[in-house]
């Protein structure tokens, strides 16, 4: 029986009686419990280290070493994110091809602390990339694929044009185009003001990250969001508090028992007193500690506004001028501006569009992005597939 026949016959069957013991997700009152507890970095990377340069200390995460001659993927995160946003992608791509992943926290982000942390100019950030690679490998650097998302993608283009990486063999840019980026800057401040400034717990921050749509993949948000917030009291990154104590994780788990429910606002004192409910057994304890401002953002992106235009101005032409093979990965075909459209028609770079994902493409769909990158590297003979590297080869397509 063909699949079409099965579908037609199934549509003629009477509906089954619903079983109240096993509610469906569409049933009213159904709540699927979501785990918002954070994940540790060592579930995805093999090593973390602090690399000293002449300008400060950079936090670096490395996957396990690969075979000799395999390329090194240097991963640059977007503005406000951290190196841990590449965690799931690194785990996926190393299963497909022989390579090593290196992700580090850019100046002013994550666990990186440098002189003049507020200096986020494109030239400064691009120079930092070269300084970190020089401090780690010296003159014996392996072949490097420079890959960046959003602001990190712009830094990749600037670094390639400044020739700070002599062993550079390829550039990959994720969801950043000059035209659309410059247009979005006008509303960037209002977007930043719409975000909450503080969070009461790490789990609460992860929940906001998923619900707001910043990251649509819950598993990715669980590892990346702790790298974006700091403890207000200790000024330490939230990742330094992991793993959480079991009692703390259990308390937060109870609080997020119904993640889709909307908490009601507390009634005013007059209404509460008029209800006549004076039972002390159900009153909250007077000395219960309530701290709704425990974590804040690691970086205040609104203060970096003077550098925004410098990141993206002339980016399309600089991208086309890069002399190594290039890959542009977008979340929508409408994001292409005129210069890149012409360049793509002339075959100057490879274009790949992944639908049904947000701006953080590599977090929302890490496996698909890993497949696209693996296809790009194998097609250009930069890397070799692993023994079990059977995956869908993505041809350049819109």
Name residue 75's beta-bridge partners.
103, 147
What DSSP designation does 315 have?
Answer: H
Name residue 295's beta-bridge partners.
199, 231
Name residue 168's beta-bridge partners.
144
174, 149 contact by CB (below 8 A): yes
In angstroms, rounded to a whole number, what is the distance separating the alpha carbons of residues 199 and 167?
42
Dihedral of the CA atoms 52, 55, 58, 63 (nearest 10)? -70
Helices and strands of the chain, counted as H and E runs: 15, 12
For 47-83, b where at least 16 C-beta lie within 10 A, e where not — what string? ebeebebebbebbbbbbeebeeebbbbbbbbbbbbbb
In angstroms, rounded to a whole number, what is the distance separating the alpha carbons of residues 87 and 225?
11
Which active-site residues does the annotation give?
150, 175, 359
Strands 56-62 and 47-53: antiparallel
353, 198 contact by CB (below 8 A): no
């Amino acid at each position: 029986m063909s699949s079409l026949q099965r579908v037609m016959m199934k549509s003629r069957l009477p509906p089954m009686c619903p079983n109240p013991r096993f509610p469906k997700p569409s049933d009213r009152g159904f709540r699927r419990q979501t785990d918002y507890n954070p994940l540790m970095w060592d579930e995805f990377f093999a090593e973390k280290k602090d690399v000293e340069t002449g300008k400060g200390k950079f936090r670096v995460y490395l996957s396990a070493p690969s075979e000799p001659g395999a390329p090194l993927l240097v991963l640059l995160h977007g503005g406000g994110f951290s190196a841990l946003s590449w965690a799931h992608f690194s785990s996926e791509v190393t299963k497909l091809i022989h390579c090593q992943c290196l992700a580090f926290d850019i100046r002013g982000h994550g666990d990186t602390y440098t002189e003049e942390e507020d200096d986020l100019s494109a030239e400064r950030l691009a120079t930092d990339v070269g300084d970190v690679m020089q401090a780690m490998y010296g003159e014996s650097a392996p072949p490097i694929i420079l890959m960046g998302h959003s602001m990190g993608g712009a830094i990749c283009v600037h670094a390639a044009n400044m020739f700070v990486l002599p062993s550079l063999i390829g550039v990959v840019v994720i969801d950043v185009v000059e035209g659309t980026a410059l247009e979005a800057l006008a509303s960037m401040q209002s977007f930043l003001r719409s975000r909450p400034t503080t969070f009461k717990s790490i789990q609460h921050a992860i929940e906001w990250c998923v619900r707001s749509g910043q990251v649509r993949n819950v598993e990715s948000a669980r590892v990346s969001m702790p790298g974006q917030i700091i403890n207000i009291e200790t000024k330490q990154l939230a990742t330094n508090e992991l793993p959480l104590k079991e009692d703390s994780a259990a308390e937060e788990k109870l609080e997020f028992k119904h993640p889709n429910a909307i908490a009601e606002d507390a009634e005013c004192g007059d209404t509460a007193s008029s209800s006549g409910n004076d039972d002390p057994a159900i009153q909250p304890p007077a000395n219960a500690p309530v701290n709704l401002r425990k974590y804040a953002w690691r970086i205040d992106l609104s203060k970096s506004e003077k550098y925004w235009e410098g990141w993206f101005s002339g980016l399309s032409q600089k991208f086309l001028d890069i002399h190594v093979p290039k890959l542009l990965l977008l979340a929508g075909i409408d994001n292409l501006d005129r210069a890149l459209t012409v360049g793509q028609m002339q075959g100057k770079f490879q274009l790949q569009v992944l639908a049904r994902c947000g701006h953080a493409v590599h977090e929302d769909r890490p496996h698909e992005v890993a497949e696209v990158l693996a296809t790009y590297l194998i097609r250009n003979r930069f890397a070799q597939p692993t023994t079990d590297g059977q995956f869908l080869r993505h041809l350049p397509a819109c």
